[in-house]
């Protein structure tokens, strides 16, 4: 008996350890049962350049944008996206707009982020001084700007916009397009929420929604895009513009990087007395 008691005594710590393990294991099991299920990842999207995607049967596109294009600057086709007459801003945007107006009156630039090497983003990247190389495939259009090597991608393979919880915000957003008669209609969302401007003092946000209706003019020599842009964080309603680009067959794009040592020699962007932030 004494020996048994001794043996029992010796086993007591081991029993306690075993019981603790069982308790932890059962607790984990209960937690696993009560935790919400892990959502399944989205089904994989066939890449726009996958040969099997390109090879799918699709309606014939109305035109081919492949080529080099330059914004056809003129007084009635400015590179700016100025607000329309009678526009109404949100209180948050009005603060920026008023500050930009004051800076302009003093001969200063307000939040000139492009000059400080932030990407121009859409829509401004489309109307820069540098040409844009456009490459069209049945499933996608790549637009590479000669300014900052900015790449814009328009998917034509029928995909929907990425889940807002999964989309990675960017300055050019996420564009999906479809053909309507003689036009390509492109819908873009998924923008960043800072350092992105429509015009001086008019910020663009992660709520920006842009629709472009693209069509060819002059037997393919001119590209016209009608823009409809809304941003409930910055203004009320939809604003519209129509811009034109000319095909430039005598040039190509080249690399253009905004670099601190180059900017150091640019009075317009280095002068602290001129740049208001």
Beta strand 209-217 pairing with 183-189: antiparallel
Is 184 an interacting residue with respect to another protein (CB under 8 A)? no
Q: Which of 6, 45, 228, 251 binds another protein (CB under 8 A)?
A: 251
Q: Which of 83, 97, 127, 171 binds another protein (CB under 8 A)?
A: 127
Report the C-alpha gap between 124 and 81 in whole angstroms: 8
Q: How far is the CB of 75 from another protein (least distance, A)?
A: 7
Report the C-alpha gap between 53 and 46 in whole angstroms: 7
Do the Cβ atoms of 260 and 269 come closer than 8 Å? no
Is 114 an interacting residue with respect to another protein (CB under 8 A)? yes
Q: How far is the CB of 89 from another protein (least distance, A)?
A: 20
Nearer to another protein (CB atom), residue 117 or residue 185: 117
Q: How far is the CB of 194 from another protein (least distance, A)?
A: 18
Is 129 an interacting residue with respect to another protein (CB under 8 A)? yes
Q: How far is the CB of 102 from another protein (least distance, A)?
A: 12
Exposure of 226 by Cβ count < 10 A (0-12 exposed, 13-18 middle, 19+ buried)? middle
Helix/strand/coil (H, E, C) string of 164-197?
CCCCCCECCCEEEEEEECCEEEEEEECECCCCCE
Binding segment for another protein (CB under 8 A), chosen from 22-30, 47-55, 182-190, 250-258, is 250-258
Binding segment for another protein (CB under 8 A), chosen from 12-20, 22-30, 32-40, 110-118, is 110-118
Is 146 an interacting residue with respect to another protein (CB under 8 A)? yes
Binding segment for another protein (CB under 8 A), chosen from 86-94, 99-107, 158-166, 169-177, is 99-107
SS3 13: helix
Q: Which of 65, 112, 186, 189 binds another protein (CB under 8 A)?
A: 112
Beta strand 197-199 pairing with 209-217: unpaired
Write the CB contacts of 104 (distance below 8 Å, at least 6 apart in sequence).
110, 200
Nearer to another protein (CB atom), residue 151 or residue 268: 268
Q: Which of 13, 36, 37, 267 binds another protein (CB under 8 A)?
A: 267
Q: Which of 41, 107, 181, 260 binds another protein (CB under 8 A)?
A: 107
Report the C-alpha gap between 112 and 122 in whole angstroms: 15
Question: In the structure encoding, which two tokens stand for residue 173, read together?
Answer: 């957003």
Q: Which of 89, 103, 132, 184 binds another protein (CB under 8 A)?
A: 103
- The beta strands (E) that lie in the chain are given as 67-71, 109-110, 132-136, 140-145, 151-155, 174-180, 183-189, 197-199, 202-203, 209-217, 222-230, 238-247, 275-276
Give the count of residues interacting with another protein (CB under 8 A): 40
Q: What are the residues binding another protein (CB under 8 A)?
A: 71, 73, 75, 78-79, 103-104, 107-110, 112, 114-115, 120, 127-131, 146-148, 200, 251, 254-258, 262, 265-269, 271, 273-275
């Amino acid at each position: 008996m004494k020996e048994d008691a001794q043996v029992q005594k010796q086993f007591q710590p081991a029993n306690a350890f075993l019981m603790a393990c069982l308790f932890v294991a059962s607790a984990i099991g209960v937690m696993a049962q009560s935790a919400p299920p892990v959502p399944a990842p989205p089904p994989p999207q066939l890449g726009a350049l996958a040969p099997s995607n390109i090879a799918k049967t699709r309606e014939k596109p109305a035109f081919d944008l492949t080529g080099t294009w330059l914004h056809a600057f003129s007084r009635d086709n400015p590179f700016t996206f100025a607000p329309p007459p009678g526009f109404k801003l949100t209180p948050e945007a009005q603060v920026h707009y008023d500050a930009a107006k004051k800076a302009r009156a003093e001969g200063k630039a307000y939040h000139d982020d492009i000059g400080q090497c932030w990407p121009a983003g859409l829509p401004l990247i489309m109307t820069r001084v540098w040409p844009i190389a456009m490459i069209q495939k049945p499933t996608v259009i790549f637009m590479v700007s000669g300014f900052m090597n900015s790449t814009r991608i328009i998917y034509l393979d029928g995909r929907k916009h990425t889940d807002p919880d999964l989309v990675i915000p960017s300055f050019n957003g996420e564009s999906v397009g479809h053909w309507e008669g003689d036009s390509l209609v492109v819908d873009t969302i998924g923008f960043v929420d800072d350092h992105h401007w429509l015009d001086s003092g008019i910020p663009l946000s992660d709520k920006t929604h842009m629709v472009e209706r693209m069509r060819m003019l002059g037997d393919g020599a001119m590209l016209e895009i009608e823009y409809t842009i809304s941003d409930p964080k910055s203004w009320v309603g939809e604003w519209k513009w129509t811009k034109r680009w000319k095909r430039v067959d005598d040039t190509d794009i080249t690399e253009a990087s905004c670099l601190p040592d180059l900017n150091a020699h640019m009075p317009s962007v280095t002068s602290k007395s001129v740049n208001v932030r």
